[in-house]
Amino acid sequence: MAARLAQPMSPRLYADLASWWPLLSDPEDYRAEARLVLDLLSCVLGGPPGSLLELGSGGGHLACHLPAALEVVLLDLSPTMLEVSRQRNPVRAHVLADMRQAELGRRFDAVLLHDAAMYLLEAEDLAQACGVAAAHLLPGGAFLMLPDVVAEEFEEGTVTGGGEAPDGRAARLTEWVWDPDPQDGRYRVDMSLLLRDADGTMRAVHDVHEMALRSRAQWWAGVRAAGLVPVEAPPLLAARFGGEVFLARKPGNGG
């Protein structure tokens, strides 16, 4: 899970606890997903992208598995998450900005919006972020959005994780996913964190995150509102991701 917009969430995981993120979610787990992202973008572009902008890039776990030859710009609203990302991606460009309002003054072959999309709670937020993506794409460029879940597939449940660091720190995480109000288009993730410092000191932290719960049609509406043209993802690639894939092209250059 990457760092996100600050307004709808408890900020601790994206502020004072950001340095713990690599222990809570192993960067190695993103290796196969990075390959899949490139394969999906290549379906639109006819080959691998030469430049990519990631909106809501968080700790840079996915970016660290992208080829060194690929120019990657990582954009996020959390300065502490960007610092975590710089440690793992020291040669990549990092930009502190809101994905709904960013203007970098250049365009890319591809734009990626991964699970940061879940923090775009309002339809206007989604439309704005997709608009930023479109504005930063070259004609014929590829947009890929990979939200955690669509409303049609949502299920309540729990997820656990955690790991250890060479310096003696360790962390354990339980995420409790549930929907307090099925009518409001949102769900909630209560994160319970046990954090052990290098000196053995233990802390327990409760962090609450509010996520968007949209139907497929609502996600696609945000993409189309930005003038992007949906592209059907190859079924085998979509199955490899195991979730919903929103792939689109910016019109131009025959697209």
pLDDT reported for residue 6? 35
Residues in the chain: 255
Kindly give the confidence (pLDDT) of every residue in the chain, 255 residues in length, as a single tens digit, with 9 standing for 90 and above: 443 333 444 569 999 999 999 999 999 999 999 999 999 999 999 999 999 999 999 999 999 999 999 999 999 999 999 999 999 999 999 999 999 999 999 999 999 999 999 999 999 999 999 999 999 999 999 999 999 999 999 999 999 999 999 999 999 999 999 999 999 999 999 999 999 999 999 999 999 999 999 999 999 999 999 999 999 999 989 888 888 999 999 999 754
Write out the two tokens for 127: 């439309």
- DSSP string of 57-123? -TT-TTGGGS-TTSEEEEEES-HHHHHHHHHH-TTSEEEE--TTT---S--EEEEEE-GGGGG--SH
The closest alpha carbon to 116, from 105, 127, 129, 106, belongs to 129
Between CA 167 and CA 21 the distance in angstroms is 15
Q: For helices 123-135 and 216-225, what crossing angle results, to 10°?
A: 50
pLDDT reported for residue 9? 43
Between CA 76 and CA 31 the distance in angstroms is 21
All residues at 6 or more sequence positions from 124 whose CB lies less than 8 Å from its CB, including other chains: none
pLDDT reported for residue 4? 37
Write out the two tokens for 90: 């020291």
Query: Does the model's pTM come out above 0.85?
Result: yes
Distance of CA 255 to the CA centre of its chain: 26
All residues at 6 or more sequence positions from 52 whose CB lies less than 8 Å from its CB, including other chains: 41, 66, 70, 71, 72, 73, 108, 109, 110, 111, 112
pLDDT reported for residue 8? 42
Helix (H) or strand (E) holding 224: helix 216-225
